[in-house]
Amino acid sequence: MSNAAVRRHCFAGLFMFSVIGLSGSASFAQLGIDIEKVPFEYSKTAAENRVTRLIDAINAKSVELEYSDENGYLRSLLKALEISESSQTLVFSKTSLQVRYISRRNPRAIYFNDDTYVGWVRGSSLMEISTADAKLGTAFYTVDMMPWRAKIKQAYYDCLACHATSMTKGVPGHTVRSVYPEVDGSVATQRDSFITDHSSPFAQRWGGWYVTGRHGEMRHMGNAFLRGGHLDTLDNGNRLSLWDEFDTHDYLSP
């Protein structure tokens, strides 16, 4: 998939399941929710959130994003959105439309605060943002990282195909998925996947994610991929570093 093709899509990949059997509109209809009607009127309602305020500030020239050869506008964008670099999480499953770039050796980084998420993939000229919006529920944006300009634009239904489904109770929102990844990071669609929240069993968490930290004898799905149809959760835990998986120094929080 070329960058040009990726730009036509949105941050449907922030925690999205790789293969979608239904279009966004079909998903909404099945749930009996029409987000083009009150109270959403999604495509007609003007977004008003942390990202729109940043866009206004950029247009007014009171904020200027700085480009770097290492990670484009990532560091500057995080600062402008008041997102800590230490919030970094890493996903190696191909659960983003930027599947061309994502792998165990090149995981997608997600940075977040209480209301906004930024996705960055090494080697891509596109960043993705999703943010809570009081009127829309969640709004989605892409950032074209051209050295001479960061172009931020709102995205719509490609994102909602995953982010306004049964996973989010039919309204635009965020969700975290735990999946069974293959060795190349693709999702084993014939296997169950899990929506993760505070009540999720530890053993069902973080499939397709990198996880560090000690947790004793408890087992989780992170750091592992399917081998012969089996996910090895015996040796994937209690990791203190990921240096042997990929070059961690290419990320803001190595």
Q: What is the 3-state secondary structure (H, E, C) of 38-73?
A: CCCCCCCCCCCCHHHHHHHHHHCCCCCCCCECCCEC
Residue 11 pLDDT > 70, yes or no? Answer: no
**pLDDT confidence bin for 54, thresholds 50/70/90:** very high
Q: Would you call 93 helix, strand, or coil by DSSP?
A: coil
Q: From CA 203, how far away is CA 226, in angstroms rounded?
A: 15
Tell me the domain boundaries of the chain.
1-168, 176-245
**pLDDT confidence bin for 6, thresholds 50/70/90:** very low
Contacts of 135 (CB under 8 A, 6+ apart): 39, 40, 45, 46, 47, 48
pLDDT value at position 118? 98
pLDDT value at position 152? 97
Task: Measure the N-to-C terminal CA separation of the chain; round to a whole number of Å.
Answer: 28
pLDDT value at position 32? 59
Task: Output the average pLDDT for the chain.
Answer: 87
**pLDDT confidence bin for 241, thresholds 50/70/90:** very high
Q: From CA 108, how far away is CA 241, in angstroms rounded?
A: 17
pLDDT value at position 17? 35
Q: Is 28 left (phi over 0), alpha (psi -120 to 50) or beta?
A: alpha
Arithmetic mean of pLDDT, 122-144: 95
Q: From CA 40, how far away is CA 34, in angstroms rounded?
A: 8
Residue 5 pLDDT > 50, yes or no? Answer: no
**What is the pTM (predicted TM-score) of this model?**
0.85
Q: Is 137 left (phi over 0), alpha (psi -120 to 50) or beta?
A: left
CA dihedral over 9, 129, 68, 122, signed as positive or negative = negative
Arithmetic mean of pLDDT, 161-179: 79
Q: At 106, which amino acid appears?
A: N
Q: Which residues, in sequence order, are bridge partners of residue 149? A: 146
Q: Is the CB of residue 45 less than 8 Å from the CB of residue 125?
A: no
Q: What is the pLDDT of residues 12-31, one digit of tens each?
A: 444 443 333 333 444 444 55
Work out the angle at residue 210's Cα, subtended by the Cα atoms of residues 252 and 206, and round it to the nearest 5 degrees.
130
Q: At 97, which amino acid appears?
A: L
pLDDT value at position 205? 98
**pLDDT confidence bin for 173, thresholds 50/70/90:** confident
pLDDT value at position 24? 42
Q: From CA 225, how far away is CA 207, in angstroms rounded?
A: 8
pLDDT value at position 48? 97
Q: Does 124 or 33 have the greater pLDDT score?
A: 124
Percent of the chain with pLDDT over 70: 85
φ/ψ of 7, rounded to 5, equals -65, -20
